Amino acid sequence: MIVVKLVLVSCFLTMGLIVNAQKPLQNDNDGEIMLRDSGSCNIKWIFNTKETNSRSLRWTLFPAYNDNDGFMCGFLITNGITKVHPKFSFSFSPSYTVTNSKLLGQSWLNFDHVTKQDNIAMISYRVGIKSFDFNINKKFNYSQRYLRFDPSVTFHFRHLSPDVKQSQLALKSFFINEEEAVFVNGDFDKLSNKSTLIHRIVYQRLFEDDIQRSDIDLSLEYQAYNSDHYLKVMAISDQRYLYSSKKNLYFRFFATGFIVNTQRKSGSFQNIFTRGSIALIQQGFNDYSYDEYFFSRQNQNGFQDDQVSLTSGGGFKTPVGSAYSIGMSNNFAAAVNFSADIPFRIPTWLPLRIYFDAGTYSTYSGTKFISNMIYNGGFSFNFNDVAALHIPLFYSNDLGNIYKETHNDFFSRMSFTLNLHRLKFKNLKPPFKNLFI
């Protein structure tokens, strides 16, 4: 089982070539942003590092996989990897699934406008689209696709302090269409469409010096659906402190709650009745805005369930699947995640850490809101925050009972993380803006 997990993790990392991420804004030595809008054009393989003054289109073939679409084949073409990134950048990455006989994938367009204002260095206009299947029903022979369309405007602020690497304010919208199965007299009839519109304001700030790094992420999210609506505020802070040569302490603080939620007292989470629910254990089925990439979303019945997110939700590493609501709230939740590099000397290719997660979440008991506490801890192998393998060793009682019930043996209790946001290639020079998400 563990071998299968590692093989598919490696395969999914390759899929990182289709995703798009906002890297910290790169300036020249005088603090001015360097953009290019002219020059000849040629096509290169994505890992070709030979420098040229011409504009380059980069391409590559790649495999991809999820448990609904199976293995997919496709290609990527982008102009987003250059020595000096262009004002207008794009990525086109279609893929085809033989399992469901569909054309899927992701594409985006981005335009950067440099300003001469004192406070705003650049404004980025972006629009992206991606579509994959999120569920498959083998009994009735149908698969359900999601389509996400995400326009945004990002204001990159100018800073005089060299320690402030980046700060930005983004206005984002997510138009999401999901297919729903319609049954007549117990038999599958057709697929209908359900639409979702989510608005989000996000402020991000990055501070870094020789001994510490501090990331702050504040967001405000609104969604109206059916006759319900909510307004949710979230704060995440990631802190890293160097305590010895190449040894760090890591802290993550997470807190989120609803200012307004017409389904605040609901005991249902992430379904047709309630949306926007908070999750301390972030998995595919509760990634309702499709921000991340998961092997499994709705089919929580295989080892794909063992994938968790460390950048969204409460950062817990004990996935229990969609059959359980532990760690979920329609009111308020908070968590702290701690990890540390092992203090004694070990090979650099074995990045061993210890970790501990603790969190609280609020649920409605019928007459009042009550606070629930959960925790877990263990060891993890963390590879540059891109891929990680977690080995939980202890848990709070309720979480441990459920986790041991859904994971029968020691090896099945291992979970893993893929964070394509942080994927970088050392043989490519910055900026890599808009290659990975």
What spatial distance separates the first Cα and last Cα of the chain, rounded to whole Å?
Answer: 29
Which CATH number applies to 2-422?
2.40.160
Give the pLDDT confidence of 51-71 residue by residue, as tens digits: 555 567 888 887 788 888 999
Residues 43-75: b if buried by 16+ CB within 10 A, e if exposed: ebebeeeeeeeebbbbebebebbbbbbeebebe
Three-class secondary structure of residue 18 per DSSP: helix
Q: Write out the two tokens for 432.
A: 């890599």
How high is the pLDDT of residue 4? 40
Parse the chain into domains and list their residue ranges. Answer: 2-422
- What pTM was estimated for this model as a whole? 0.85
- Choose among 13, 20, 287: nearest CA to 128: 20
Is residue 252 within 8 Å of residue 280, measured between CB atoms? no
Q: Which helix (H) or strand (E) holds 4?
A: helix 2-14
Q: Is 87 exposed, middle or buried (0-12, 13-18, 19+ CB in 10 A)?
A: middle
Residue 164 β-bridge partners? 207
Q: Write out the two tokens for 290.
A: 């499709």
Is residue 86 within 8 Å of residue 110, measured between CB atoms? no
Per-residue pLDDT of the chain (437 residues; tens, 9 = 90+): 443 443 344 444 334 433 433 343 444 434 445 555 545 566 676 666 565 555 678 888 877 888 889 999 998 888 866 666 678 889 999 999 999 999 999 999 999 999 988 899 999 999 999 999 999 888 899 999 999 999 999 999 988 777 777 899 999 999 999 999 999 998 999 999 999 999 999 999 999 888 999 999 999 999 999 899 999 999 999 999 999 888 999 999 999 999 999 999 998 987 778 999 999 999 999 999 999 988 888 755 566 778 999 899 999 999 998 889 999 999 999 999 999 999 888 887 889 999 999 999 999 998 899 999 999 999 999 998 889 999 999 999 999 999 999 888 888 899 999 887 666 544 443 333 333 33
Give the pLDDT confidence of 91-144 residue by residue, as tens digits: 999 999 999 999 999 999 999 999 988 899 999 999 999 999 999 888 899 999
